[in-house]
Structure 1
């Protein structure tokens, strides 16, 4: 049996962050840059090309609970190791897709790889291995991976320019096998996993200890994560068009949107330096408040959009840490993978539906109403987190 250190080294955490940049760039963030080239080259319907990402996210959400159970039973290393070839195969199929049905079908494979290899499986693995000491590792991973869009989108654009969209998919497929897979092999040594004990009825003890569906802490946390993910997805997909609809030029909208990445990274630095010993519920409360205030400023006054976007990005950056650290603090390392898997399903389904619903709201009611809906969701999330904090205090 391999003796594991109390916490992963900074080098290991940084390498895991790099692996996440590549994995997210080859899945969740790929369509934003690739879609225009695909539509131009093939003539396929733009709605289906963009909608294929929703298919992938939906599959990821449906598989998330099963992934959590597998990690609980066998550890996260096999799941993360499997995610690289699954994503690579999906991108290979994407590159050679002769028609739209095959293109959408490739996203079913990519969605499976997303379920096995993005934040939630990695956080579950770290929580299972290092217990309460995983918080620092999760923060360090998100600190590095906070540069994802800043690196991924220019890289994909460069690959598309020189290799075409099919060549870009092949290049990313190679990176997943040649870079991400070796990183997981190096940073995640084999770990002996104690088999779950069973009761007379044959039900795993971990399942019995998982919070019941009526548990207020569990459901308040899940609802808050869903709202936060829906807001993040809507901003990621619609921000530039919303700002333009309210009078900003494309250059101005891009400049404002570019503030999100540095703000997220700055928030994670603050978390590393000052908030490591505080309960994650306080980080969550601060995150939801900053997101709400930032969106209100953007909606209310164009001149406050820059400051509003910095506040939003800071809150969003803290949220990505809290989604890993709060369930660990509330429910413990033993059932942590199961909790993450259960929470991930409704969260990812909400994210999959967001581009469709958000697009319809913007199309029929305009940018101001769309921002108002996002603000309402953000304010509702503050209420949910306040109720959750009260339950935690009990």
Structure 2
């Protein structure tokens, strides 16, 4: 297969990522309670099953990344569509808690094969050190996953039930997703020829990255992952406990998605002229700044907090691809991305329950835990230095 134009590859991969996120991470918010009610389970069982899926994803991430480093990402992404579809089929046919758990565990196995880590690693395989623009482009499109996925899932669930929603997403994976990865992405050989052989340079060529830098990045991404998962699950409640009415809390929380896209557009524009380390520093300070303002002044600054938090999340998503690339180069990117993301996925698996318990006990004072986690990320990213 010949190498497609870069814009076509990025657009196609972005659409496939939108599908992958909409049918995995963003499935739970709409279907968790209908699943639980239908199977006569406590909703906590469904949420715990999703947490278990994230732990599976964390365990498999480094292995998947190493596969992409060696063989390219096209086959891995294509296989993810089959595994996502199987997971959704098992969920659709679930008759008890154990088959439901099995479906979510299969979903966890598909996540490192089909979400951002795999897509970013594939772009690095295609474009090497010049993959930053491709990574940003993918996130700009996939950033609308909740905007598309939530209404679509909700509409199907309302008219035909949650099982039909799972089946519909499964069909999209074996048609749209598989079609994109089979026909619109080049093979590893075509990518290597296009890049003059540099894209697939062995990991050993660049030498091992400094252990301190790698561990610091892992801490930064883990702290950021904890904040992201905590706010994604509990943001409206946090805002209500800070003094907002339910209507205002929902309105402010809805600003997060808009702010994420604005942050990513900024990264594609004027921020693209800066070293990724500077965009990492900017993104890391936005949540703790906004949360501190909300903690000190309460409801009047709810919209400011939501905007700062959303922009920080939007930019940090890109940073997870561009900063390791800038610090370590393209060699061994896939496995390194899996290693860096593994502890972050563990944090994301535990954060909703931990933060929820603290909200019950501490009220809005639990927000200061997210400030502390954000401060750890800030300290870590400001301690890093660029190569050369």
TM-score normalized by structure 1? Answer: 0.91
Q: Which runs of 5+ in 2 are unaligned?
A: 193-200
Partner of 1:107: 104
Contact 2:91 2:166 in 1 (8 A): yes
- Counterpart of 1:361 in 2: which secondary structure? helix
- Counterpart of 1:323 in 2: which secondary structure? helix
> How do residues 23-34 of structure 1 correspond to structure 2 at under 5 angstroms?
23-34=20-31
- Counterpart of 2:376 in 1: which secondary structure? helix
State the distance in 2 between where 1:189 and 1:209 align.
25
- Counterpart of 1:275 in 2: which secondary structure? helix
Query: Given the alignment of the two structures, is residue 238 of structure 1 paired with residue 227 of structure 2, yes or no?
Result: no
State the distance in 1 between where 2:337 and 2:355 align.
26
1:48-86 C-alpha deviation (Å, 9 max, x unpaired): 111111011110010001101111111111100000010
Alignment partner for residue 128 of structure 1, among 109, 114, 125? 125
* 1:152 CA displacement: 1.1
Partner of 1:303: 300
Query: Given the alignment of the two structures, is residue 67 of structure 1 paired with residue 64 of structure 2, yes or no?
Result: yes
Partner of 2:196: none
* 1:208 CA displacement: 8.5
Label 1:280 to 1:369 Cα distance change in 2 as closer, same or farther (>3 A): same
* 1:209 CA displacement: 5.4
Contact 1:210 1:339 in 2 (8 A): no
* 1:193 CA displacement: 8.7
State the distance in 1 between where 2:273 and 2:303 align.
31
Partner of 1:271: 267
State the distance in 1 between where 2:288 and 2:258 align.
19
Query: Given the alignment of the two structures, is residue 88 of structure 1 paired with residue 82 of structure 2, yes or no?
Result: no
- Counterpart of 2:189 in 1: which secondary structure? coil
Alignment partner for residue 312 of structure 1, among 300, 309, 312? 309
Partner of 2:160: 163
- Counterpart of 2:102 in 1: which secondary structure? helix
> How do residues 177-192 of structure 1 correspond to structure 2 at under 5 angstroms?
177-192=174-189
* 1:298 CA displacement: 2.4
Alignment partner for residue 219 of structure 1, among 215, 219, 223? 215
State the distance in 2 between where 1:205 and 1:77 align.
18
Q: Which moved more, 1:220-229 or 1:83-92?
A: 220-229
* 1:131 CA displacement: 0.9
* 1:372 CA displacement: 0.7
1:128-163 C-alpha deviation (Å, 9 max, x unpaired): 210122110110110111111121111111111011
Contact 2:225 2:347 in 1 (8 A): yes
Partner of 2:148: 151
Partner of 1:324: 321
* 1:173 CA displacement: 0.6
State the distance in 1 between where 2:285 and 2:105 align.
36
* 1:250 CA displacement: 2.5
1:92-140 C-alpha deviation (Å, 9 max, x unpaired): 0000001011101111111111110000011011012101221101101
1:211-266 C-alpha deviation (Å, 9 max, x unpaired): 46x72211111110111111011100111122223332332221111101111111
Contact 1:74 1:193 in 2 (8 A): no
Alignment partner for residue 293 of structure 1, among 289, 292, 295? 289
Partner of 2:340: 343
Partner of 1:392: 386
Query: Given the alignment of the two structures, is residue 44 of structure 1 paired with residue 38 of structure 2, yes or no?
Result: no
* 1:349 CA displacement: 1.2
> How do residues 7-22 of structure 1 correspond to structure 2 at under 5 angstroms?
8-22=5-19
Contact 1:299 1:372 in 2 (8 A): yes
TM-score normalized by structure 2? Answer: 0.93
1:306-345 C-alpha deviation (Å, 9 max, x unpaired): 0121111111111011101111111111111121011121
